[in-house]
Amino acid sequence: MSGAGIVSWGAYLPYWRLRRAAIAQVLGSGPGKGARAVASYDEDTTTLGVEAARRALAVATAAPQDLLFSTPAPGYLDKTSATVVHAALGLGRDCGAYDFSGAPRSAIGTLLMALSAAPQRRTLAVLSDLRTGLAGGSEERDTGDGGVAFLCGAEGAVAELIGRGAASDEFLDRWRVPGEPDSHVWEERFGEEMYVPLAREAFADALKSAGVTENDVDHAIVSGLHARAVKAVTAGLGVAAGTVSPDLTGSVGNLGAAQAGLALADVLERARPGQVVVVLTLADGADALVLRTTDALVETQVARRAAGVRTVAEQVAAGRDDLAYATFLTWRGQLHREPPRRPDPERPGAPIVRRSEGWKYAFAASTCSACGFRHMPPTRACLSCRAIDQMRSERLADVGGTVATFTIDHLAYSLSPPVIGVIVDFDGGGRYRCELTDARPDELSIGDRVAMTFRRIYTADGVHNYFWKARPEEGTTHGE
């Protein structure tokens, strides 16, 4: 093919895990083995995508020229969610931002579009999903939440697309009409009968297109929400033993539209140059991609470690699995609990948000060019030397900080009280008061290290209010 391909990648798994045993303990359903990744009450598919994209761009040498965002559960309809991701990443106005929503198959199509555009334009494909099912059902138990992102370009590719195959057919397997919160699934045996031949066709066509055979495959990924079909297809691939990518569903669940991307990210973090990777996805048909890793892979793996980007395996191991089932149901809107006795928040005004876009989305402070004093939020007048209009914008979303002090508010409006307010001293200067997420009050101490994360503060009148919160820095322990 073109020689262009994936330049960088990033994966994001939420901090929280729900043990399946916790579901079984309440509802008495199933053996309850393993856990699923759970997006927090202040996360949605947009914020999951932002966090994955930040990791993909952590070692990128050039910014994307286009951003493609795909999810079956968009935060908005009739409004582009990709522009929120674009703003949170601080990308330039000349970077296009486009949504590809609907069925999970849109995700693999989005990655294909990014790879196809790579010879001409650096394109960032962001794939995320937040899976919700009825209480006690397999969708709730076996799926998970998360996001992945792939920066595709012509220079520095770590994996080149060398072949692909596809097989499409119209049949009823999984569906959800607009307005419904949960998916419907047809009888599993029927889906298996439909998917297996489609997968074989796509897989054979992809190998032929790439000029390789089953014996040349070093890493094989098979993903799809139809677990029975995935198992049958995997058993019949004909690749060498040990080449099939490890199944992550037991520890984090099936991420739906992001599942294949998560497995691919995991493979890229373990692969060696010159290896053949096949990605086979089952969703309203079958798609197969054949990639070959390049010599640039090792350099990128080293750069990611140096930048502190956590691998998929590290994120899987770092998840906290003591989330209460009642809390999970509350976050998902299936358990309506008594709210704090405070007025509901008002929706943010469009003109105000537009005027503060650089601060609100990119978390850009202003630093005085005369004396170096950092202002948060940004201002025109320096509080230190009184200089006027001598400020430069400085993005602090990727700058760490230290907890100077904190408060616990049991009355503030929140889906997950109490609210933890922290004052953060940022590295290099600057102090700001914000909310702390992904933490428990009794485990927080002054001096703890924190990083910034993009979250949904609240939703009012159908308008999502996004901003940045602090979270415990990855790789640290609460209370140290």
For the chain (480 residues), the mean pLDDT of every run of 10, in chain order, is 83 97 86 91 98 97 97 95 98 97 94 96 98 90 97 96 97 91 90 96 98 97 96 94 91 97 98 98 98 97 96 96 95 86 84 93 97 96 96 96 96 88 97 96 96 96 96 63
Residues 76-115: pLDDT tens digits?
999 999 999 999 999 999 999 999 988 999 999 999 999 9
* Contact (Cβ atoms closer than 8 angstroms) between residue 313 and residue 269: yes
Residues 416-439: pLDDT tens digits?
889 999 999 999 999 999 999 999
pLDDT value at position 427?
97
Strand, coil or helix: 392: strand
For residues 467 and 363, what is the distance between their CA atoms, to the nearest angstrom? 8
Amino acid sitting at position 341: R
* Contact (Cβ atoms closer than 8 angstroms) between residue 100 and residue 68: yes
pLDDT value at position 479?
37
Other Cβ atoms within 10 Å of 45 Cβ, number: 28
- How far is the CA of 220 from the CAs of 150, 166, 266, 318, 455, in angstroms? 18, 16, 12, 25, 34
* Contact (Cβ atoms closer than 8 angstroms) between residue 129 and residue 72: yes
pLDDT value at position 35?
96
Other Cβ atoms within 10 Å of 136 Cβ, number: 15
Residues 108-143: pLDDT tens digits?
999 999 999 999 999 999 999 999 889 988 899 999
Amino acid sitting at position 284: D
pLDDT value at position 475?
61
**Is the Cα dihedral 324, 327, 331, 336 positive or negative?**
positive
Give which of 471, 362, 361 is closest to 422, Cα–Cα. Answer: 471
pLDDT value at position 91?
97
- How far is the CA of 423 from the CAs of 41, 410, 446, in angstroms? 22, 18, 10
Other Cβ atoms within 10 Å of 208 Cβ, number: 13
